[in-house]
């Protein structure tokens, strides 16, 4: 066969950007709905499969893992308070796509390929949360000690928002998600429907991930087979950085748009990379929502940072940009700093004719939620983000100096408000995620040793905090713990009890003990 271009997938300088059209993941369709207390509950069966996927028009296909054989997986659409049941079936091969480091927690005496699905941001009973130790192998031949059920029940008892589902198996989450196991889960509600936001073809979810490839087009993930010599091979890196950018599974795609308003729900589903996003023409974003739903009021922003697992819900009005090509740029605020390739994400080409007049709105008032009153907090906790060195001389990032399997220390009472002070001793940010709850960011402040008492507890002065970024207001489930600062969040544990977790959402950190149990008790 004759090659049209000499393309080396490992080197982004050898292939053009913006030649693949953006794809939008299809909606998942339920197997059946069944009557349950006179309610029809949709039942989905979603199969995790190994398939071949084309990331770029000029690439050979790449072996990936996808939910229903797709990456991103199919989008599940649910309505507030209407339950959905999902059976997430592991039909994956016995051997992993990526070499597995068998020195990490949970990987030593367990099958190489294990999965468990977590619905990120869900208010959900503990047995359907996708606990890392509730993993199962193909056909449930082996299961983790926290495994209890095959069918997960989502009550969707929370405001409309953009959730996402992804793998969470202990010790290999970074590899499973990188292999392709992630998808969107949208909760709709009546309030939002009344707002007349852009919808249908004008409402598009965007999942951004950095990837790297070998010359033959297969996914590249470092095995770290370099000295120090006492390291195992493969040995997990303490972070992964890809040299290409995928949006909804295509590298640097473009999207042809009409000169009108579009709603985008943007998710950073990268292992480590944080993005600092803006439009190349200096255009503005109308932010309407964050991780956990709509803001009280829409705000205009010209840039924002999206850490791993964070979502932003925004509207871009292309009506003034007829004929323009606008690039979504990754600039200031990106971690690590972007280069010429990773500095661009995708392109919007305002070339389609307007099909019909745009009657959608960007309402000023969106969602009347009641902010948490931090003065009602039942308990305050100071949690240090620190490190140790493992027996191979590798840095391990930890939460409060404890390992994943150390006894639970974050035991919270249902129906109480807690304030957590996340003390980041590193010189780079860690995106901290708490399962089950939403929270508000109260603010941040640089710290010195004088800010802590003898026990290491933070001497909290509420008025001394600087407020969160404008785009970080509202209800969140991931927060950037900024370097050299205390980041203070407040959360209300409202509904469920049981065993949950909290962790850094840099997947290489999470897999290497920057993850802790969280217990909610009555
Ligand atoms: Cu998005 Cu515990 O994860
Ligand atoms: Cu989560
Ligand atoms: Cu981290």
- Give the CA-trace dihedral at 358, 363, 368, 369, to 10 degrees: 80
Residues of the chain with pLDDT > 70, as a percent, come to 97
Give the pTM. Answer: 0.97
Cα 152 to ligand 2 centre (Å): 15
Give the position, in ligand 1's atom list, of the atom nearest the Cα of 121: 1
Residue located nearest, by CA, to atom 1 of ligand 1: 120
Give the mean pLDDT of 10-27. Answer: 98
The predicted-structure confidence for 67-114, as pLDDT tens digits, reads as follows 999 999 999 999 999 999 999 999 999 999 999 999 999 999 999 999
CB count in 10 Å sphere of residue 335: 21
Ligand index nearest the alpha carbon of residue 173? 1
CB count in 10 Å sphere of residue 296: 15
Residue located nearest, by CA, to atom 3 of ligand 1: 120
Give the mean pLDDT of 42-64. Answer: 97
Which candidate, 276, 277, 239, places its Cα nearest to that of 426?
239
Q: Give the confidence band of 2 by pLDDT, cuts at 50, 70, 90.
A: very low
Cα 382 from Cα 489, distance rounded (Å): 11
Give the position, in ligand 1's atom list, of the atom nearest the Cα of 130: 2
503 lines ligand 1 (CB under 6 A): yes
**Phi/psi of residue 435, nearest 5 degrees:** -70, 160
What letter would DSSP give residue 13? G
Inter-residue contact 69 to 63 (CB < 8 Å): no
309 lines ligand 1 (CB under 6 A): yes
- Residue 285: is the preceding peptide bond cis (ω within 30°)? no
Which candidate, 262, 276, 269, places its Cα nearest to that of 310?
269
Give the position, in ligand 1's atom list, of the atom nearest the Cα of 502: 2
pLDDT value at residue 227: 55
Inter-residue contact 433 to 500 (CB < 8 Å): no
**Position 4 pLDDT exceeds 80:** no
Inter-residue contact 183 to 72 (CB < 8 Å): yes
- Give the CA-trace dihedral at 479, 481, 485, 490, to 10 degrees: 40
pLDDT value at residue 305: 98
Ligand index nearest the alpha carbon of residue 386? 3
Which candidate, 264, 271, 346, places its Cα nearest to that of 311?
264
**Phi/psi of residue 45, nearest 5 degrees:** -120, 115
Give the mean pLDDT of 462-486. Answer: 97
**Position 32 pLDDT exceeds 90:** no
C-alpha 138: how far from its chain's center? 25
Cα 433 to ligand 1 centre (Å): 7
168 lines ligand 1 (CB under 6 A): yes
Give the mean pLDDT of 473-492. Answer: 97
**Position 24 pLDDT exceeds 60:** yes
Cα 505 to ligand 1 centre (Å): 7
Cα 425 from Cα 412, distance rounded (Å): 25
Cα 435 to ligand 2 centre (Å): 5
Give the mean pLDDT of 509-516. Answer: 97
Give the mean pLDDT of 255-283. Answer: 98
Q: Which residues contact 250 (CB under 8 A, 6 or more apart)?
A: 20, 21, 22, 23, 55, 56
Cα 172 to ligand 3 centre (Å): 16
- Residue 169: is the preceding peptide bond cis (ω within 30°)? no
Give the position, in ligand 1's atom list, of the atom nearest the Cα of 510: 2
The secondary structure of 367-399, three-state, reads CCCCCCCHHHCCEEEEEEEEEEECCCCCEEEEE
Cα 506 to ligand 2 centre (Å): 12
The predicted-structure confidence for 265-275, as pLDDT tens digits, reads as follows 999 999 999 99
pLDDT value at residue 225: 63
Cα 381 from Cα 385, distance rounded (Å): 13
433 lines ligand 1 (CB under 6 A): yes
- Joined together, the tokens standing for residue 31 give 């197997």
pLDDT value at residue 414: 97
pLDDT value at residue 229: 56
What letter would DSSP give residue 6? -
**Position 500 pLDDT exceeds 70:** yes
Cα 183 to ligand 1 centre (Å): 13
The predicted-structure confidence for 301-321, as pLDDT tens digits, reads as follows 999 999 999 999 999 999 999
Give the position, in ligand 1's atom list, of the atom nearest the Cα of 515: 2
The predicted-structure confidence for 125-184, as pLDDT tens digits, reads as follows 999 999 999 999 999 999 999 999 999 999 999 999 999 999 999 999 999 999 999 999
- Joined together, the tokens standing for residue 2 give 């004759």
Inter-residue contact 166 to 172 (CB < 8 Å): no
Residues of the chain with pLDDT > 90, as a percent, come to 91
Residue carrying structure tokens 């199919």: 74
Cα 330 to ligand 2 centre (Å): 25
What letter would DSSP give residue 76? E
Give the mean pLDDT of 483-509. Answer: 97
**Position 470 pLDDT exceeds 60:** yes
The predicted-structure confidence for 384-439, as pLDDT tens digits, reads as follows 999 999 888 888 999 999 999 999 999 999 999 999 999 999 999 999 999 999 99
Give the mean pLDDT of 348-373. Answer: 94
435 lines ligand 1 (CB under 6 A): yes
Give the mean pLDDT of 356-369. Answer: 94
Q: Give the confidence band of 1 by pLDDT, cuts at 50, 70, 90.
A: very low
pLDDT value at residue 282: 97
Share the mean pLDDT of the chain: 95
Cα 249 from Cα 151, distance rounded (Å): 27
Give the mean pLDDT of 439-455. Answer: 97
pLDDT value at residue 226: 62
For every residue of 196-228, DSSP letters joined together read ----GGGEEEEEEEEE-B-TTSPBP------SS
């Amino acid at each position: 066969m004759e090659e049209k271009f000499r393309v080396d997938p490992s080197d982004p300088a050898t292939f053009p950007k913006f030649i693949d059209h953006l794809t939008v993941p299809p909606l998942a369709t339920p197997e059946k709905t069944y009557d349950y207390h006179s309610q029809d509950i949709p039942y989905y069966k979603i199969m995790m499969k190994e398939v071949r996927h084309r990331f770029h028009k000029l690439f050979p296909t790449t072996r990936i893992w996808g939910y229903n054989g797709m990456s991103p997986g199919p989008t599940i659409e649910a309505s507030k308070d209407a339950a959905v049941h999902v059976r997430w079936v592991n039909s994956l091969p016995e051997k992993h796509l990526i070499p597995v480091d068998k020195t990490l927690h949970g990987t030593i005496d367990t099958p190489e390929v294990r999965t468990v699905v977590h619905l990120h941001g869900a208010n959900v009973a503990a047995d359907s949360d996708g606990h890392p130790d509730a993993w199962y192998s193909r056909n449930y031949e082996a299961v983790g000690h926290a495994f209890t059920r095959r069918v997960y029940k989502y009550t969707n008892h929370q405001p409309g928002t953009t959730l996402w589902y992804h793998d969470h198996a202990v010790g290999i989450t970074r590899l499973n998600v990188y292999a392709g196991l992630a998808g969107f889960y949208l909760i709709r509600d009546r309030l939002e429907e009344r707002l007349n936001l852009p919808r249908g073809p004008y409402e598009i979810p965007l999942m951004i991930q950095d990837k790297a490839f070998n010359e033959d087009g297969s996914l590249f993930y470092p095995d770290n087979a370099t000295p120090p010599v006492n390291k195992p091979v493969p040995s997990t890196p303490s972070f992964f950085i890809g040299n290409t950018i995928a949006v909804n599974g295509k590298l640097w795609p473009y999207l042809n748009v009409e000169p009108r308003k579009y709603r985008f729900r943007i998710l950073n589903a990268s292992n480590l990379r944080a993005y600092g996003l803006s439009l190349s023409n200096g255009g503005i974003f109308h932010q309407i929502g964050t991780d956990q739903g709509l803001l009280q009021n829409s705000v205009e922003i010209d840039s924002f940072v999206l850490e791993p697992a964070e979502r932003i819900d925004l509207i871009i009005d292309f009506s003034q940009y007829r004929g323009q090509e606008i690039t979504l740029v990754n600039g200031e605020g990106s971690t690590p700093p972007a280069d010429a390739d990773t500095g661009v994400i995708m392109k919007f080409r305002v070339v389609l004719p307007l099909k019909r007049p745009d009657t959608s709105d960007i309402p000023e008032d969106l969602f009347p939620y009641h902010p948490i009153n931090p003065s009602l907090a039942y308990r305050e906790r100071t949690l240090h983000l620190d490190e140790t060195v493992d027996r191979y001389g590798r840095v391990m990032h930890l939460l409060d100096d404890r390992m994943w399997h150390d006894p639970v220390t974050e035991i919270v009472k249902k129906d109480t408000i807690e304030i957590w002070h996340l003390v980041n001793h590193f010189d780079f940010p860690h995106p901290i995620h708490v399962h089950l709850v939403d929270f508000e960011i109260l603010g941040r402040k640089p710290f010195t040793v004088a800010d802590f008492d003898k026990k290491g507890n933070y001497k909290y002065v509420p008025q001394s905090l600087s407020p969160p970024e404008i785009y970080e207001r509202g209800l969140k489930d991931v927060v950037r713990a900024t370097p050299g600062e205390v980041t203070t969040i407040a959360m209300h544990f409202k509904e469920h009890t049981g065993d949950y977790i909290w962790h850094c959402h840099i997947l290489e950190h999470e897999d290497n003990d920057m993850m802790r149990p969280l217990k909610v008790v009555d």
